[in-house]
A = this chain, B = another copy of it.
Amino acid sequence: MNVKALERRSGIAIWRQIADELRNEIATNLALKDSRLPSELTLAKRFDVNRHTVRAALNALAKEGIVESRQGQGTFVRRQTRISYPIGKRTRFSDGIGKQAQTTRGKLLSLSTEIATPEIASALQITAGSNVICLDALSEADGMPVSRSTSWFCAQRFPDIGAAYQTTGSITKALAHCGVDDYLRQSTEIEAHHATMNDTEYLQLSPGAIVLVTQAINSDTDGNPIQYSKTRFAADRVSLMIANEL
């Protein structure tokens, strides 16, 4: 345990490194909800730092709503929740999230018609340079932003997808409006990055936070790609679940 010391010239303050470490342990169930964390002095000894530094770390976690300090008693875990987002052949955002969160919304940020780049054309299997509809949306659960996604559709096949999404607030329903009553997830690529300044803005994250980035292609039942999307999830609010039907 504790094999490596905290690094001092890494551009990340020690109190933040400790906060990240503790947040991790809470998230991976090493510390259970409502349980008491070790005392500030114990933590200071464990990380080999001053008690002030531990207090700065706990202060940051308290601001995030993860722990709560009570004078004379100690510091306690408040929550360690994560929304599980299923990814499978027939996964719909509203289906998966709807059951776990109280309220689910998709908010349209922007809607535009663009010229397909080679990347988009290749994903949608259309000729490069043809028109695509670009749909930018923010998804929220229980009032907290969860993900921001950009989707591309073939403009020729789905000219009214934007209007349909705006009225329904759901990709699935919008596609149904356009004559697609069933579709399948063909592929998903997952990466993790540090939050960009755009992410900190739209997903209400702090710098240094993590985003899970997925690139997905959805196809109709004949195997023709109909939607190409890139989604950025606030990593501390979700986990991605891949289930394979046997």
Residues of A within 8 A of B (CB): 2-4, 6-7, 10-13, 15-17, 19-21, 23-25, 27-28, 56, 60, 82, 84, 87-89, 184-198, 200-201, 206-208, 210-213, 219, 223, 235, 239-244, 246
In Å, the complex CA distance between A194 and B10 comes to 14
Given A21-B196, A190-B190, A210-B192: A11 touches B4 (CB 8 Å cut-off): no
Write the chain B residue with the least CB distance to A17.
B207
**Chain B nearest CB: distance from A243 CB in Å?**
5
Sample 30 A-B pairs with CB under 8 A, ordered by A number: A2-B197, A6-B197, A6-B207, A7-B200, A11-B16, A17-B208, A20-B195, A20-B196, A24-B193, A27-B193, A28-B193, A28-B213, A82-B191, A84-B189, A87-B242, A184-B246, A185-B244, A186-B243, A189-B240, A190-B190, A190-B212, A190-B240, A190-B242, A191-B235, A191-B240, A192-B192, A192-B235, A193-B235, A194-B208, A219-B246
Q: Is the interface of A mostly helix, strand, loop or mixed?
A: mixed
Q: Are A187 and B11 in contact (CB under 8 A)?
A: no
Which residues of chain B have C-beta atoms less than 8 A from A10's C-beta? 16, 206-208
Q: Which residues of chain B are near A194, meaning CB under 8 Å?
A: 20-21, 23-24, 208, 210
Alpha-carbon separation in the docked complex, A184 to B243 (Å): 11
What 6 A-B pairs come out closest when comparing CB atoms?
A: A11-B16, A11-B13, A192-B235, A20-B194, A192-B192, A188-B242
Each complex incorporates copies of this chain amounting to 2
Smallest CB-CB separation from A27: which chain B residue?
A: B193
Contact in complex: B16, A12 (CB < 8 Å) = yes
CA distance A191 to B244 in the complex (A): 18
Nearest CB in chain B: distance from A139 CB, A: 17
